A = this chain, B = another copy of it.
Amino acid sequence: MGFSDKNVLIVGLGLIGASYARAIRKYIHPNKIWGVDINREVIDLVKKEDIVDDAFVNCNNILKSADIVIVSLYPQDTIDFIVNNMENFKQGAIITDTCGLKSSLVGKINKVIRKDIDFIGTHPMAGKEKGGFVNSSSELFVNSNYIITPTLNNKEENINIINDMALKMGCRNIIKVSPKEHDEAIAITSHLPHILAVALMNTGNSLKDIKYLVGGSFKDTTRVATINGELWSQLFMANKENLVKVIDEFQKNIECIKSAIIEEDKEKLNEAFKKSCDGRREIQL
């Protein structure tokens, strides 16, 4: 499958969008790659670094020439952008996004989508604790997981194009699940760890000289505690039902360990440890 006749447009050049741009530039070589961002300073940086063929603060004129549009904005902005530009996309274009939630977003977009356009929801499971264009990297996706959430509306050949793009950018595993399954899974694999990072950091905040008393485990667990509040509030609240369910389950697991410690029940502790050892070895990449 070739990209040499395809024009790719990336909308939003933050950490994820600009990393797409760099990875596509380096590994995919489409006919043209364009970038759009409302921030003029970002556009200047993008042009200076020559990671796209051209970059704009407004994509009105370029949209009708783009075969693949990668929208890398916050969830609500992603929906607004796609809905508001529905009449401007090129005939037969593939539109994809990078949002961390899928059910509501895919549903809203599919309600208004043109028949000739294919919207394929994706969630690249890659990121950094520091966002923004300046932290973007062509290697961000290397060895990471890439989730595609196809619907019955999608054409097989277009799903394959997105699949191929992810592989070429270095993603190790590409999994296809429904938007609903995605949101249930992500509550455990992404939202919950972020909440734990915040809660652990806030438990540690009262400790004097904590900087000199931490080891690797505290540092790793709190790595994502420098959370982007605006983005993650949106994600948490939009995934409320799934998230509250897994927080409840997590709280039961913590309570179980706590009571085993209080009762000095070594057997119960070892049971929890054995389960976590086996589970962690399964996900070892």
- Write the residues of chain A forming the contact surface with B, with a CB cutoff of 8 angstroms: 125-128, 144-145, 147, 173, 175, 177, 185-186, 188-190, 192-205, 207, 209-227, 229, 232-233, 236-237, 240, 243-244, 246-247, 249-251, 253-255, 257-258, 261-262, 264, 266, 269-270, 272-277, 279-283, 285
Contacts and interface: CB of A to CB of B under 8 A. Distances in A.
Contacts of A219: 283, 285
A222 B283 contact: yes
In the complex, the count of this chain's copies comes to 2
Contacts of A275: 201-202, 205
A270 B198 CA distance: 11
Interface of A is mostly: helix
Contacts of A270: 229, 233
A8 to B, nearest CB: 24
Contacts of A216: 125-128, 144, 223-224
Given A126-B216, A193-B218, A276-B198, A173 B269 contact: no
A217 B222 CA distance: 9
B277 A203 contact: no
Nearest to A253: B199
Contacts of A185: 207, 209-210, 213
B175 A145 contact: no
Contacts of A144: 215-216
A236 B227 CA distance: 30
Given A210-B282, A261-B236, A272 B218 contact: no
Given A221-B221, A225-B277, A244-B261, A282 B211 contact: yes
